[in-house]
């Protein structure tokens, strides 16, 4: 049962990450349009903000997939030389001592940050005249993505304790 829940979290994060990876193509197109429109008629802040929103989504929503595939950045001074069981314990301690508190703080602060964008005084929009409205939607990606990242960290630690291999090695 526990293994199935962990695998479901991993499968969901891999599927979301693969879908969101296509934001990269959209980001390239938006930047190209922005550069061309700047050269032809002075550009638009809205195109720059669309690019910023796509980049934020790309970065935040593919991080759990990167962790699921064990392709994240780590200070690998001794980790790669360890036995799988030792690696599992390192991952478990890392998730418990580092990832969990970090995600907890970012989720908490991100929720406050997001809530401020949706206050009754009005939805937060760009400070620029021709910028995009509804910036709170992008802000909401912060706590959402860190919940996914924390869940993936738990699934990764569980996978190691159970002796399962990462999806990229399976």
Task: Give me the tens of pLDDT residue by residue for the chain, a chain 170 residues long.
Answer: 888 999 999 999 999 999 999 989 999 999 999 899 888 887 778 888 889 899 999 999 999 999 999 888 776 778 888 888 898 898 999 999 999 999 999 999 999 999 888 876 666 777 777 777 777 889 999 999 999 999 999 999 998 888 887 666 65
What pLDDT shows up at residue 140? 93
Burial (Cβ within 10 Å: 0-12, 13-18, ≥19) of residue 75: exposed
Within the chain, residue ranges assigned H as helices are 2-20, 23-41, 45-68, 84-94, 100-117, 135-162
pLDDT (0 to 100) of residue 168? 61
- CB atoms inside a 10 Å sphere around CB 17: 21
Query: What pLDDT score does 116 carry?
Result: 85
**Contacting residues for 169 by C-beta, under 8 A, at least 6 apart:** 70
What pLDDT is recorded for position 151? 98
Question: What residue has token string 């950045």?
Answer: 73
Q: Which two tokens stand for residue 57?
A: 């989504």
The pLDDT, as a whole number, for residue 76 is 73
Could you tell me if 31 and 38 are in contact, meaning their C-beta atoms sit under 8 angstroms apart? no
Nearest to 10 by CA among 146, 149, 141, 144: 149
Angle formed by the axes of helices 45-68 and 2-20, nearest 10° = 150
Burial of 46 (0-12, 13-18, 19+ CB in 10 A): middle
- What pLDDT was estimated at residue 169? 62
Q: Tell me, yes or no, if the pTM score tops 0.85.
A: yes
Q: How many residues does the chain have?
A: 170
């Amino acid at each position: 049962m526990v293994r199935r829940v962990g695998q479901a979290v991993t499968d969901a994060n891999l599927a979301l990450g693969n879908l969101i990876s296509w934001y990269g193509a959209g980001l390239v197109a938006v930047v190209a349009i922005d550069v061309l429109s700047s050269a032809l008629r002075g550009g638009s802040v809205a195109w720059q903000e669309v690019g910023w929103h796509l980049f934020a989504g790309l970065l935040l929503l593919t991080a759990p997939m990167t962790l699921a595939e064990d392709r994240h950045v780590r200070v690998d001074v001794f980790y790669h030389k360890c036995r799988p069981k030792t690696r599992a314990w390192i991952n478990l301690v890392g998730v418990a001592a580092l990832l969990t508190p970090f995600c907890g703080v970012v989720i908490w602060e991100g929720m406050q940050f997001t809530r401020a964008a949706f206050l009754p005084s009005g939805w937060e929009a760009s400070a620029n005249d021709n910028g995009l409205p509804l910036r709170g939607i992008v802000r909401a990606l912060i706590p959402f993505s860190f919940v996914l990242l924390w869940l993936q960290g738990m699934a990764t630690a569980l996978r190691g304790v159970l002796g399962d291999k990462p999806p990229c090695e399976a």
